[in-house]
Structure formats: C-alpha cells, structure tokens
Amino acid sequence: MSRDVRHQWLVVIFGLGCLLFSFPLLALFNHAALIFGVPLSVLYVFAAWLVVIGLTFLSHERRN
C-alpha cells in the first residue's frame, strides 16, 4: 500500500471513529446487560476505542 493510500486510510478511520462513537451505534449497544461481567455499553465503548487505535496503528506502522 503506498503512503498516499495509507494517508487516505486515516481519513476513513477518522470517519469510522466518529460513526462508532455517535448516536445510532452508541444507542444500539447501550444496554446494561453483562457480557463477561462487563456491561455491554462499557464493553462496546472500549472495544470501539481499541479498534480505532488499532487501525491507526496499522496504517502508520505496517510496512507495506
């Protein structure tokens, strides 16, 4: 993947992040039900957070 394309990915990740942390998706997982002892809402937020970080990591650190 060329550098340019990778930089375009950043914009995509930003858009994805905004989507993950905004109303419709946030509401979708807004339940107190415990998954592995953690409320779904909490699990979702931290998981989405990790996804954004992970994708940013990949687009910066992956060497072709």
60 lies in the binding site for another protein (CB under 8 A): yes
**Could you say which residues in the range 13-32 bind another protein, by CB under 8 A?**
13-14, 17-18, 21-23, 26-27, 30-32
Q: Which residues pair with 45 in a beta bridge?
A: none
C-alpha gyration radius of the chain: 14
* Residue type, position 52, single letter: V
Whole-angstrom distance, CA of residue 10 vs CA of residue 16: 10
**Which parts of this chain interact with another protein (CB under 8 A)?**
7, 10-11, 13-14, 17-18, 21-23, 26-27, 30-32, 34, 36-39, 41-42, 45-46, 49-50, 52-54, 56-57, 60-61
